[in-house]
Amino acid sequence: MNCLEKRILRDGVVKPNNVLKVDSFLNHQMDVQLLDEIGAEFHKRFADCNITKILTIEASGIAIACSVARCFNVPVVFAKKSKSINIDGDVYVAEVESFTHKCKNQVVISKSFLNKDDRVLIIDDFLANGCALQGLISITESAGASVEGIGIAIEKGFQIGGTIIRNLGYRLESLAIVDEMDAEKGSVRFREQG
């Protein structure tokens, strides 16, 4: 069992409707030491990929992405969820539906920060239905860059996102895959990974 799985068992809270609250350490309050352990683990797993850029999406992916980027000594780029007046018109765009927030967002990345020579590691905190990831993959490929890997902190294994992304042939590593949760018992069952 890795550091994140242990922490989920200790401090995660299972709520009805398959909500796993990890907001005391991962996506509202954040334990930077844990983030750095997660960063080191992704660095180990993708060390052979010659990563040139870490790509994530605001907001809760940013903290993990920075810890990963520090290990690889490469920049982070985060996709923005609405078009700001500070982003030039020259952007890559994808439409992303959020499972958590029940809404659609356009996510954009300035064309200045992704190019055909980039070898991209996509990082995010959660993977559920995979829509956010599909948007980031779409943007990466629009830039002519390559998706070398995808690192997710917590995958909801009982939702379709992970299966879709793996079926598409991407190298997806999730530190914790939750296959079952029970709000009444407060229990979480992780998928065993080799």
Q: Are 135 and 108 in contact (CB under 8 A)?
A: no
Say whether residue 23 binds a second copy (CB under 8 A).
yes
If you search the block for the tokens 């002519």, which residue do you land on? 144
Task: List the interface residues with a second copy, window 80-109 (CB under 8 A).
Answer: 80-82, 84-87, 100-102, 109
* Residues 29, 33, 119, 94, Cα dihedral to 10°: 0
Bridge pairing between strands 19-21 and 13-15 = antiparallel
Q: How far is the CB of 113 from a second copy (least distance, A)?
A: 4
Q: Which of 11, 31, 37, 97 binds a second copy (CB under 8 A)?
A: 31
Say whether residue 160 binds a second copy (CB under 8 A).
no
Q: Among the candidate windows 31-39, 152-160, 161-169, 170-178, which touches a second copy by CB under 8 A?
A: 31-39
Q: Which is nearer to a second copy, 62 or 164 (CB)?
A: 62
Say whether residue 51 binds a second copy (CB under 8 A).
no
Q: Which is nearer to a second copy, 24 or 146 (CB)?
A: 24
Supply φ then ψ for residue 16, to 5 degrees. Answer: -60, 165
Q: Are 41 and 2 in contact (CB under 8 A)?
A: yes
